[in-house]
């Protein structure tokens, strides 16, 4: 016969204070033996429903930060993803992004993620510029080599950025740009189409807005 274990059950709707939640988050992190407390770990070691934590703090990460713990998604973010975010912001604003802009949409990573990896925002930007300036084309695939291509079809991230920056983050055909039209997407287009032997090099690439780019491929 199994023993009945009495546990205090919270009546649905019973008040839990922010403070109680934070204390329990820290306790759960201690029990789990980690500073990085995921929702899954909290479900194993914590007393409350992660949904309650969400409701009180707006998001899981905000609660984690309030508890003085580390958020899992800010650990081990690859340099490439941090650079990709810089590129996204550069494209969005049409200029070098500012540190304060990391805290607001469309930025995907906070200032602390950059600080942890590069010590400062300026160091992060310098590393980004170094990264972008490495002249490297995506190597062609086996199929592309068979077709005597020197470069792969898709431009690398750094190549996309160089081309957009050269074109001032504007569509080369109509001048549209995300800085004045939020939400507008810029594409990288092969001037001489790749399908007709055009290579993926800076000088055969141009920035087009989605509309112009799709218009172009319909004509071809």
Would you tell me which residues interact with Zn ion (CB under 5 A)? Answer: 171, 173-174, 176, 209, 212
Q: Which of 216, 198, 1, 184 is nearest to 94 (CA)?
A: 184
Q: Which tokens sit at 12?
A: 């649905």
Torsion from C-alpha of 14, 16, 21, 27, nearest 10 degrees: -70
**Shortest Cβ distance from residue 155 to Zn ion (Å)?**
18
Cα(136)–Cα(144) distance, rounded to whole angstroms?
17
**Shortest Cβ distance from residue 198 to Zn ion (Å)?**
19
Q: Name residues whose C-beta falls within 8 Å of residue 83's C-beta, 6 or more positions apart in sequence.
A: 127, 128, 131, 132, 157
Q: Which of 24, 161, 142 is nearest to 88 (CA)?
A: 161
**Which CB atom, from 27 or from 176, has the smaller least distance to Zn ion?**
176
**Shortest Cβ distance from residue 63 to Zn ion (Å)?**
43
For helices 157-166 and 79-93, what crossing angle results, to 10°? 20
**Which CB atom, from 152 or from 211, has the smaller least distance to Zn ion?**
211
**Shortest Cβ distance from residue 175 to Zn ion (Å)?**
7
**Which CB atom, from 104 or from 219, has the smaller least distance to Zn ion?**
219
Cα(88)–Cα(52) distance, rounded to whole angstroms?
33
Note whether 52 and 21 are within 8 A (CB).
yes
Measured between alpha carbons, how far is residue 131 from residues 35, 56, 84, 153, 159 in Å?
A: 31, 41, 11, 21, 10
**Which CB atom, from 64 or from 186, has the smaller least distance to Zn ion?**
186
Cα(180)–Cα(210) distance, rounded to whole angstroms?
15
**Which CB atom, from 33 or from 182, has the smaller least distance to Zn ion?**
182
**Shortest Cβ distance from residue 100 to Zn ion (Å)?**
30
**Shortest Cβ distance from residue 164 to Zn ion (Å)?**
13
């Amino acid at each position: 016969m199994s023993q009945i274990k009495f546990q205090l059950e919270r009546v649905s709707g019973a008040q839990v204070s922010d403070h109680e939640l934070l204390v329990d988050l820290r306790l759960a992190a201690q029990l789990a033996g980690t500073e990085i407390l995921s929702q899954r770990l909290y479900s194993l070691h914590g007393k409350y429903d992660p949904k309650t934590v969400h409701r009180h703090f707006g998001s899981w990460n905000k609660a984690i930060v309030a508890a003085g713990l580390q958020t899992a998604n800010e650990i081990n973010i690859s340099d490439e993803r941090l650079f990709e975010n810089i590129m996204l912001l550069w494209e969005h604003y049409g200029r070098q992004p500012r540190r304060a802009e990391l805290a607001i949409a469309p930025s995907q990573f906070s200032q602390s993620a950059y600080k942890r990896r590069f010590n400062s925002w300026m160091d992060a930007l310098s590393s980004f510029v170094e990264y972008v300036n490495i002249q490297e084309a995506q190597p062609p695939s086996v199929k592309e080599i068979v077709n005597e291509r020197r470069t792969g079809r898709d431009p690398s991230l750094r190549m996309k950025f160089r081309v957009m920056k050269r074109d001032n983050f504007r569509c080369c055909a109509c001048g549209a740009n995300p800085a004045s039209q939020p939400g507008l997407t810029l594409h990288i287009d092969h001037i001489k189409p790749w399908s007709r032997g055009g290579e993926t090099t800076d000088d055969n690439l141009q920035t087009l807005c989605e509309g112009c780019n799709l218009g172009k491929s319909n004509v071809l």
